[in-house]
Amino acid sequence: MLDADFFRRWMAVTAASVDREAEQLTELDSAIGDADHGSNLQRGFRAVAAALEKEEPATPGAVLTLAGRQLISTVGGASGPLYGTLLRRTGKALGEAAEVSVAQLAAALGSGVEGVKQLGGAVVGDKTMIDALEPAVAALEGGFAAARAAAEQGAEATTPLQARKGRASYLGERSIGHQDPGATSSALLIAALEAAASP
Ligand code: ADP
Ligand code: MG
Ligand code: MG
């Protein structure tokens, strides 16, 4: 079972990976966006890590709703409200439980992804974070390593696609041949589950 400590580690590991990969994420965003994805998420997840240390939320659901609120209030770009919605919806779906199973996390993350799709209107194949998140959720019942592999594969599969949502879509065919920054950061978020499970 996964307790609040696990969810705090998940957010802390994500914050550390975003710090480590920030330059790379911004470079991907400079090819098909406005070169701010790394710094956007760095600001957001640093705020998440700070808020979690200060407030010490007691349940998995409370950890994720707090994290989501921080992302919405600190990230100016499209990714802030989208990732914020993902984590808030997932947290809400986990309810008040002190511990949750991987299957419950998979179901909750599924409703989080639905929330992102409603907010942003993207489906798989539009070259967005959904391309990494949706296959990861589908694979999650098979374990964290399977989810990570699915997310990484989904992110890599965005390279030959033409963007149909977000800033990259303004480029039309010129968005082809570059990996989507948001799908890449989503793969970091999912990979952090595995690291959080074996601290
Ligand atoms: P901005 O584009 O506002 O500068 P970021 O650079 O932080 O924001 O985030 C860009 C990422 O957000 C994209 O790579 C894409 O994965 C994701 N994104 C943008 N629009 C959407 C959308 N409508 N639905 C899902 N994801 C989106
Ligand atoms: Mg950007
Ligand atoms: Mg921007």
**Model confidence pTM above 0.90:** yes
Q: For residue 41, which atom of ligand 1 is closest to its CA?
A: 7
- CATH number assigned to the domain with residue range 2-197, chosen from the 4 options 1.10.150.130, 1.25.40.340, 3.50.40.10, 3.20.20.370: 1.25.40.340
CA distances from 184 to 26, 61, 78, 124, 179 (A): 11, 25, 15, 14, 7
Residues with CB in 5 Å of ion ligand 2: 29, 33-34, 36-37
In this prediction the ipTM stands at: 0.99
Query: Which pLDDT value is given to residue 2?
Result: 98
For ligand 1, residues with CB inside 6 Å are 29, 33-34, 36-37, 40, 77-79, 82, 116, 120-122, 128-130, 165-167, 180-183
pLDDT in tens, the chain (199 residues): 999 999 999 999 999 999 999 999 999 999 999 999 999 999 999 999 999 999 999 999 999 999 999 999 999 899 999 999 999 999 999 999 999 999 999 999 999 999 999 999 999 999 999 999 999 999 999 999 999 999 999 999 999 999 999 999 999 999 999 999 999 999 999 999 999 998 7
Query: Which pLDDT value is given to residue 76?
Result: 85
Bridge partners (DSSP) of residue 3 are 99
C-alpha–C-alpha distance, residues 119 and 176, integer Å = 24
CA distances from 171 to 32, 35, 126, 127 (A): 7, 14, 13, 12
Domain range annotation of the chain: 2-197
Nearest CA to ligand 1 atom 20: 166
Q: What share of the chain is helix, strand, coil (3-state, %, to 5)?
A: 75, 0, 25
